[in-house]
Copies of this chain bind each other. A is one copy, B any other.
Amino acid sequence: MAVREKVFDVIIRCFKRHGAEVIDTPVFELKETLMGKYGEDSKLIYDLKDQGGELLSLRYDLTVPFARYLAMNKLTNIKRYHIAKVYRRDNPAMTRGRYREFYQCDFDIAGNFDPMIPDAECLKIMCEILSSLQIGDFLVKVNDRRILDGMFAICGVSDSKFRTICSSVDKLDKVSWEEVKNEMVGEKGLAPEVADRIGDYVQQHGGVSLVEQLLQDPKLSQNKQALEGLGDLKLLFEYLTLFGIDDKISFDLSLARGLDYYTGVIYEAVLLQTPAQAGEEPLGVGSVAAGGRYDGLVGMFDPKGRKVPCVGLSIGVERIFSIVEQRLEALEEKIRTTETQVLVASAQKKLLEERLKLVSELWDAGIKAELLYKKNPKLLNQLQYCEEAGIPLVAIIGEQELKDGVIKLRSVTSREEVDVRREDLVEEIKRRTGQPLCIC
Residues of A within 8 A of B (CB): 1-2, 4-5, 16-24, 26-28, 46-51, 53, 58, 85, 87, 89, 101, 109, 111, 113-114, 117-118, 120-121, 124, 128, 238-239, 242-244, 337-340, 352-353, 356-357, 360, 363-364, 366-371, 373-375, 389, 434, 436, 440
Look across to chain B and name the residue whose beta carbon is closest to the beta carbon of A46. Answer: B48
User: Contacts of A22 on B, CB cut-off 8 Å?
Assistant: 1-2, 5, 337
Knowing A48-B47, A356-B242, the reply to whether A370 touches B19 (Cβ < 8 A) is: yes
Q: How far is the CB of A92 from chain B (nearest CB, A)?
A: 12
- Further contacts, 15 of them, CB under 8 A, given A16-B339, A19-B340: A1-B21, A1-B22, A2-B22, A16-B368, A18-B368, A19-B338, A19-B339, A28-B101, A48-B48, A53-B89, A113-B373, A124-B360, A124-B363, A238-B353, A243-B356
Q: Are A375 and B1 in contact (CB under 8 A)?
A: no
Contact residue among B19, B101, B243, B337 (Cβ-Cβ distance under 8 Å from A21): B337
Q: Are A27 and B375 in contact (CB under 8 A)?
A: no
Q: How many of these chains are in the complex? A: 2
Q: How far is the CB of A360 from chain B (nearest CB, A)?
A: 5
Q: Are B360 and A244 in contact (CB under 8 A)?
A: yes
In whole angstroms, what is the CA distance A50 to B89 when docked? 12
Q: How far is the CB of A343 from chain B (nearest CB, A)?
A: 9
Contact residue among B85, B118, B370 (Cβ-Cβ distance under 8 Å from A373): B118
Q: Are A109 and B373 in contact (CB under 8 A)?
A: yes
Q: Are B17 and A1 in contact (CB under 8 A)?
A: no
Contact residue among B24, B49, B113, B368 (Cβ-Cβ distance under 8 Å from A48): B49
Contact residue among B17, B85, B111, B357 (Cβ-Cβ distance under 8 Å from A366): B17
